């Protein structure tokens, strides 16, 4: 068996001391990669939520606009009904006054 010299002994000690450092470094790299992956997943979830929120806001605007249109349409229909009723009354009065047969 060869005799170990002081330099070899020091190299062995450094190598033994370096193993936990390498293991710790590997764990750190693994943790950083896992954190980056989780960060990407969270970003994707946030993106999906933002899209859903935008769609919801868009839907609310559309419902509001449609409600306003329906109110205007309802007012127009009511006005038309009043005019038609008035026209029918006027026509009945003309028919009665002239003795015409109106249908």
- pLDDT digit of tens for each residue in the chain (103 aa)? 455 565 677 777 777 877 887 888 888 898 989 898 999 999 999 999 998 888 888 888 899 999 999 999 999 999 999 999 999 999 889 888 888 887 7
Q: Within 13 A of 98's CA, how many CA atoms are on the CB side?
A: 9
pLDDT at position 3 is 53
pLDDT at position 6 is 58
pLDDT at position 1 is 46
Alpha-carbon span 25 to 22, nearest angstrom: 5
Tokens of residue 22, six digits: 């390498």
Q: Residue 102 in contact with residue 91, Cβ under 8 Å? A: yes
């Amino acid at each position: 068996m060869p005799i170990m010299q002081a330099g070899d002994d020091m190299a062995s000690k450094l190598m033994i001391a370096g193993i936990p450092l390498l293991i710790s470094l590997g764990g750190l790299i693994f943790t950083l990669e896992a954190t980056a992956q989780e960060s990407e997943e969270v970003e994707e979830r946030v993106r999906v939520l933002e899209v859903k929120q935008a769609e919801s806001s868009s839907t609310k605007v559309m419902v509001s606009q449609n409600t306003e249109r329906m109110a205007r349409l309802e007012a127009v229909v009511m006005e038309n009904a009043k005019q038609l009723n008035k026209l029918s009354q006027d026509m009945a009065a003309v028919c009665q006054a002239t003795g015409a047969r109106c249908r």
